[in-house]
Amino acid sequence: MLRKKSIIDIDSLSMEDIGLILSNADSFLEISGRDVKKVPTLRGKTIVNLFFEPSTRTKTSFEIAAKRLSADIINFSSSTSSVKKGESVIDTLKTILSMKVDLIIIRHSDSGTVKMVDRFVNIPVINAGDGKYQHPTQALLDLYTIKKRFGKFKGLKAAIIGDFINSRVAKSDISLLEKMGVNVTIVSPTMLLPEDFSGMNVKHCIDDVIEESDIIYVLRMQLERHDRKFYPSTMEYNRFLSLNMDRLLKMKSGSIVMHPGPVNRGVEITDEVMDIGGELGKKIAIEQQVTYGVAIRMAILYLILG
Amino acid sequence: MGNDKKKNVLLKSGKIIDPVQGREFVSDIYIKDGIVSEIKEKIEIKEGSTVEINAEGCVVSPGFVDMHTHLREPGFEDEETIESGAQAAVRGGITTVACMPNTRPVIDSQSLVRYILEKSRESACNVLPVAAMTEGLNGKAITEMGLLTEAGAVAFSDDGKGIKDSKLMYEIMRYSTQLGALLILHEEDDFISKSGLVHEGHYSTILGLDGISGLSDDLMIARDIMLAVRSKARIHITHLSTKSGLEMIKKAKEEGVNITCDVTPHHLFFNDSCLTSFNTNFKVKPPIRSEEDRLALIEGVKKGVIDAVASDHAPHLDTEKNTTFKLASFGTIGLETLFSAVFSKLCIEEKMSLPKLIGFITTSPAGILGINAGKIEVGKVANITVIDTKAEEEIKKESFISKSKNSAFIGQKLKGKIICTISKGELVYRSE
């Protein structure tokens, strides 16, 4: 179904594609739980992890996913600062293409670059984070996490908290969750929202959603994408937007906390909440997201190249 | 072609458009030694050196006047030269261009104005230099506007940059009244537009591209109208992009402010939904705005609140456009598609009359610049464009004459093809 298909944004995935990725993830999750975590499915295939922006978990996640499927994966990192006028994106691609690779996984800090790359090459491309545009595999692993926790999507209430305007995760997640019937509320201050947010379900304080939400999705404050000081201070953020112990205790039973990582401790989520154990700790689904991420990415690689 | 250049020309049976009177009539035109010598129904010429062009079924218009172009010379000759830009202009039916001063060096001294005039003596169309308002476009020190006027500057502009210093802008306006000079204003508030790439709105949000709010243009338009009221300066707002800016200009006109404005074909043609392809040829300044803004601009042209259409021809190399959206340069070329774009949009789609449309690219900009152009008159040097209004063409990257190919119109099917152009009395362009 996904054969030779690129994954650029959520809109270009059909409900059928999404269903297929989720159902395949189940079997790949099982493989990751085995003692020998490897199947020969993609033996002989070459994948390039092309990261023009720093990343720990997404890059590692794709790398592990590829390796568990027995594909050869090559990491290519380049800091954007050394990239002169972006021409080297094209030049780098030309070099990589002449080495006969089968799939490119790409991350870049400039919105639209993944689409540009997809137009340029004739092999499948996976968007691993495209500027402030989209991050579709993150949204898919988030969806899978929700599926595993709730067993359903329709009627769930999700609140996405924080830096909306600079977040590619928010754009992909909102698009995907709404597609699946989840009610999404964005909780963000005016300076992290577009000028016109009519038509969006918007609140400005986490307290407005904390009690009723099934999913509290905390966004990372994208400090690296702020070209000026967007928000007054951490104290101001803590007052209106951070997830602290008081707020965690107000969450309804069965509800969960998600975050795309890495967390700015003390900004979006307090230390106390991050390190909580026991029954309340089960609300925090952040590590599960990472585990499920590998399964989702295995499913995607398999469906495209298998 | 080269051999026909100096020959006399007889245009047979074309429909002549007179935008001044708003009328059209079928007639022959005879151009002898570069001068329009006769306009009458049947002209028989027996001289062997005459090129006869059958213009039957075609429209014969005064050569177009484009009051906003970038010819890139001196300094950026790899993108465009006066010569190549003039060739592109006449292919688009344009016989007079006003070129902006953001070259390297900036056109801010008499010698540079003279350089442009000298270089353009042999070029295919008339080239009128616009000189800078501030030295090196620094926004800090006023240029020798008096001397520049004497050297032949047609107008003054810091195009590409807004002047932040309100006191300086006011002094420039006051001085322009003493000189009778026209000021062409690029309205942009740096604090608002900084780091912005596209119109701030729905599409900038979903595409994750930094926005440039309409406030960037509007704040400066509001300020400059106030300064013009106070100084009584003659100001022209170029490449208008917002509905609210248009409303302010309309009100100012009603109150008797000496203000005019122009709009580009791309702001009339596209709205910001075109950005979903991340095609960098749509990255322009001011940005292509919302559908609401676009529709308002079209109404502005129809109602005559907008006075002229100008290309804002901005050539850029492939390497400056074939990169990420953030790193790509701002601008689209526009000389060769000026007529076909506005004809397709305003006449075919919006049912504007052809003589009216032609006024926006001939007599009206000529009037704003205060030059004698945009008319076909017996006894005057011939500047004439022949158009096949029925022909349709798909715009292709490789078909441009301009040294740069960064056109937002690539892939569009446009009506109205330039058949030939007579500029400075010579037959300088004929389509194949």
Task: Please list the pLDDT of chain B residue by residue as tens digits (432 residues).
Answer: 456 777 899 999 999 998 888 889 999 999 999 999 999 999 988 777 899 999 999 999 999 999 999 999 999 999 999 999 999 999 999 999 999 999 999 999 999 999 999 999 999 999 999 999 999 999 999 999 999 999 999 999 999 999 999 999 999 999 999 999 999 999 999 999 999 999 999 999 999 999 999 999 999 999 999 999 999 999 999 999 999 999 999 999 999 999 999 999 999 999 999 999 999 999 999 999 999 999 999 999 999 999 999 999 999 999 999 999 999 999 999 999 999 999 999 999 999 999 999 999 999 999 999 999 999 999 999 999 999 999 999 999 999 999 999 999 999 999 999 999 999 999 999 998
Domain end among B369, B397, B413:
B369
B23 and B122 within one domain: no
pLDDT at residue number B305:
98
> HSE of A193 in the Cβ direction (CA atoms, 13 Å)?
18
pLDDT at A213 over 90: yes
Would you name the residues of A annotated as active-site residues? 57-58, 85, 107, 135
Residue B397 belongs to what domain range?
A: 8-60+380-430
Q: Between chains, do A131 and B208 touch, taking CB under 8 Å as contact?
A: yes
Contact partners, residue B57, CB within 8 Å, separation at least 6: B15, B388, B390
For residue B324, give the nearest of A112, A134, A196 by CB distance: A112
Active site members of B? 312
Q: Is the pLDDT of residue A192 over 80?
A: yes
Nearest to A175 by CA among A214, A202, A140, A145: A140
Does one domain contain both B240 and B131?
yes
- CB–CB of B319 and A227 under 8 A? no
Residue in B135, B194, B138, B139 with CA at minimum distance from that of residue B166:
B139
The whole-number pLDDT of residue A1 equals 61
Residue B167 · residue B141 · CB < 8 Å: no
Sequence-distant (6+) residues with CB within 8 A of B251 are: none
The CA-CA-CA angle for residues B313, B315, B318, to 5°, reads: 145
Residues B391, B343 within the same domain: no
User: Do B203 and B236 share a structural domain?
Assistant: yes
Residues of chain B contacting A87 with CB distance shorter than 8 Å? 319, 322-323
Name the minimum distance, in Å, from the CA of A159 to any CA of chain B: 18
Are B259 and B327 found together in one domain?
yes
**Amino acid identity, position B369:** L
B201, B204, B324: residue with CB nearest A116: B324
Residue A81, pLDDT score: 44
Q: Are B278 and B253 in contact (CB under 8 A)?
A: no
Going by C-alpha positions, the residue among B380, B345, B205 that lies closest to residue A186 is B205
The domain spanning residue B414 has which CATH number?
2.30.40.10
Q: Is A220 on the interface with B (CB under 8 A)?
A: no
Return the pLDDT at A228.
Answer: 61
Based on the fold, state whether residues B90 and B215 are members of the same structural domain: yes
B357 found inside a domain: yes
Average pLDDT over residues A134-162: 98
Share above pLDDT 70 across residues of chain A, in percent, rounded to a whole number:
94
Is B202 in CB contact (< 8 Å) with chain A? Answer: yes
**Following DSSP, what letter does each residue of B204-229 receive, concatenated?**
HHHHT--EE-THHHHHHHHHHHHHHH
In a domain? residue B93:
yes
Same domain, B296 and B165: yes
**Residue B200: its chain A contacts at CB < 8 A?**
194-195
Q: Is residue B113 part of a domain?
A: yes
Q: Is the pLDDT of residue A86 over 70?
A: no
Establish if B351 belongs to a structural domain. Answer: yes
- Assess if residue B1 is contained within a domain: no
Residue B38's SS3 state is strand
Q: B369, B390, B416: which is the final residue of a domain?
A: B369
Same domain, B384 and B424: yes
Question: Cβ contacts (< 8 Å) between B204 and chain A: which residues?
Answer: 194
**Do B237 and B361 have their domain in common?**
yes
Contact B278 A111 (CB under 8 A): yes
Let me know if residue B374 belongs to a domain.
no
- Domains for chain A: give ranges and CATH numbers: 15-134+291-305 (3.40.50.1370), 137-288 (3.40.50.1370)
Burial class (CB in 10 A: 0-12, 13-18, 19+), A82: exposed
Residue B166 touches partner A, C-beta closer than 8 Å: no
The residue of chain B with its CA nearest to that of A193 is B205
Best interface-test mutation with B: which of A80, A91, A195 has the largest number of B CBs within 10 A? A195
A225 confidence band (pLDDT: 50, 70, 90): low
**Residue B33 belongs to some domain of the structure:** yes
Total count of domains within chain B: 2
Note whether B357 and B397 are same-domain residues: no
Judged by CB atoms closer than 8 Å, whether chains meet at A116 and B319 is answered as no
| Consecutive H or E run containing A129 | strand A125-130
Which residues of chain A neighbour B283 with C-beta distances below 8 Å?
A: none
Q: Do residue A90 and residue B204 have CB atoms under 8 angstroms apart?
A: no
**Which residues sit opposite B99 in a β-bridge?**
B69, B129
Residues B105, B45, single domain; the answer is no
Q: Test B325 with A113 for CB contact under 8 angstroms.
A: yes
Co-location of B28 and B145 in the same domain: no
Phi, psi (degrees; rounded to nearest 5) at A138: -65, -45
Say if B2 falls within a structural domain: no
Task: State which of B369, B390, B405 marks the end of a domain.
Answer: B369
CATH number at residue B126: 3.20.20.140
